[in-house]
Chain A
Amino acid sequence: MAMPPARRPHGRPAPAPGLLRRIDDAARTAFPGFSTAFLMVLAAAPINLPSPVFAVTLPCVAFWSVFRPAAMMPPVVFLLGLLLDLLTYAPLGAGVLVLLALHAVAVRLRFALVRQSFLAVWLGFCVAALVSVVFYWGLQSLLALRLSPIAPALYAALLACGLYPILAYLLTRVHEAMRHAESEP
């Protein structure tokens, strides 16, 4: 049975990718997941400030899910969620489910979102952050079988909304650099 040839955008069969090229591709694919994990670990560093781990994770996952879903795949989101739960002492599984839901929504809406202006995407993210935080809080309360205070969760949502522009600015730069590197022959 003839396999359909994997096609490149240029139309002619691509040369077999060399080692460097493959490393380059792998690095690009791995970057979103690893950078997010690194940011989370940094955010979990013990400073005398409210822990911003959750607030850092949401913008990263949302951004990469919208703009580069090929790199922010469900397994990666799963692992990031697990890291989130382990770093924040939340009941295991709550963060995983919230991040997966956010990812699913972002991927579903990505074609509509990519065309919007930055402000619209930000607003959309704010709504998504609020919903995810409430979902996260509900899951935590359910899993711990007691009502935890909602105020810290709302602070986390506010923090995530405030962090989004900064993170999105940096990540957009990175994303454009990646696209630039990919469009080169």
Chain B
Amino acid sequence: MIRLSIPLRQALARLSLPLMIAAAFGVMLLGKADTLLAERLRTHLSDALSPIYAALAEPMAAVRSAVEEVQELGRLRADNAQLREDNERLRRWHASALALETENDMLRRQLNFLPEAAPAFVTARVVADGGGTYARAVLLATGPQHSIRKGQVALDERGFVGRVTEVGTRSARVLLATDMNSRVPVTLEASRARAIMAGNNGARPRLAHWPEGVIPVDGERIVTSAEAGAFPAGLPVGIVRMSPQGSPEVELFARLDRLDSVRLFDYGLRGIIPPEAVARPEPRQSRR
């Protein structure tokens, strides 16, 4: 320990505050002049402190989880009320669904309606995006002995995905609804008007060729149409959305950017022109 005389010590004590304030200004200047210095000092400090924080991690996690618990409890009440309300609403829907079902049965009996056979389907895993002729297509891995054929309809768990365009022995390719070559006949559900959903390689296919006098409304549901016999009627496709330019587009239900498996339905439809029978121009008969 350095021994100093008392007056000197007192003088030092009196001087230290102004000195320190001057040093503070010096630090400020230094921090302004060399911004990297502060960063480096902070890094060193956090390096030195990290063991302390590591030791504290466990109790801090406990504190954090306790805080979250309390917040969760607060939220629980609101959630509960919401769920009750939802439950009530769903019960009403359930009741109306049951009523509609019985009514439907009764009407069918009266009309002598021929019910459609439940379609057979196979589920196949998506193994690759793109490739092939089309910009928006996926490749499916199938077993060696599959019954997949061209023209089958592919759906994911939410809605329409596309059509099978190529079939190999162990794979099949599905042309997605967003591809530029995809044209799907659809029905606007509210107005029952028919239209064509044309892909444009973007996320949302355009809507085209709707009849005059009908305007697709934002939020309207779109389902497939049985027009041309290529698709069964009523498969869920998407919702009408207006593009910034004001033209109607379709926001698909299916999540085409994250497909992992699709169901391929066999509705037994061949379309007007079966995909196998591409009409080739007949060679003209040469005149003799």
Binding site for B on A (CB under 8 A): 3-4, 6, 41-42, 44-49, 73-75, 77-78, 81-83, 85-87, 89, 91-94, 96-97, 100, 103-104, 107, 143
Main secondary structure of the interface of A (DSSP, over half): helix
Bound CA–CA A143/B35 (angstroms): 12
With contact pairs A48-B67, A74-B16, A92-B31 given, residues A87 and B24 touching in the complex (Cβ less than 8 Å): no
Residue of B nearest to A93 (CB): B28
Verify B6–A6 contact, CB threshold 8 A: yes
CB-defined contacts of A46 to chain B, threshold 8 Å = 53, 60
Asked whether, in the complex, the Cβ of A78 is within 8 Å of the Cβ of B23, the reply is yes
Residue of B at shortest CB range from A49?
A: B67
Query: In whole Å, how far is A19's beta carbon from the nearest beta carbon of chain B?
Result: 12
Contacts of A104 in B (CB 8 A): 17, 21
Query: Is B28 a contact partner of A100 (Cβ separation < 8 A)?
Result: no
A44 to chain B, nearest CB (A): 8
B residues 48-82 near A (Cβ < 8 Å) are 49, 52-53, 56, 60, 63-64, 67
Q: What CA separation (Å) do A94 and B38 show in the bound complex?
A: 13
Q: List, in ascending order, chain B residues with CB within 8 A of A74's CB.
A: 16-17, 19-20
Q: A78-B24, A93-B28 are in contact. Are A73 and B56 (CB under 8 A)?
A: no
Contact of A47 with B63 at beta-carbon distance under 8 Å, contacts A3-B5, A87-B45 already known: yes
Q: Which chain B residue has the least Cβ–Cβ distance from A73?
A: B16
Nearest chain A CB to B63 CB, angstrom units = 6
Contact B19 A45 (CB under 8 A): no
A143 near B31 with CB under 8 A, answer yes
Can you name 19 A-B residue pairings with CB atoms under 8 Å? A6-B6, A41-B49, A45-B53, A45-B56, A47-B64, A49-B67, A73-B16, A75-B20, A78-B23, A81-B24, A91-B32, A92-B28, A92-B41, A93-B29, A94-B28, A100-B17, A100-B21, A103-B17, A104-B21
Contacts of A97 in B (CB 8 A): 21, 24-25, 28
Interface string of B93-137 (1 = CB under 8 A from A): 000000000000000000000000000000000000000000000
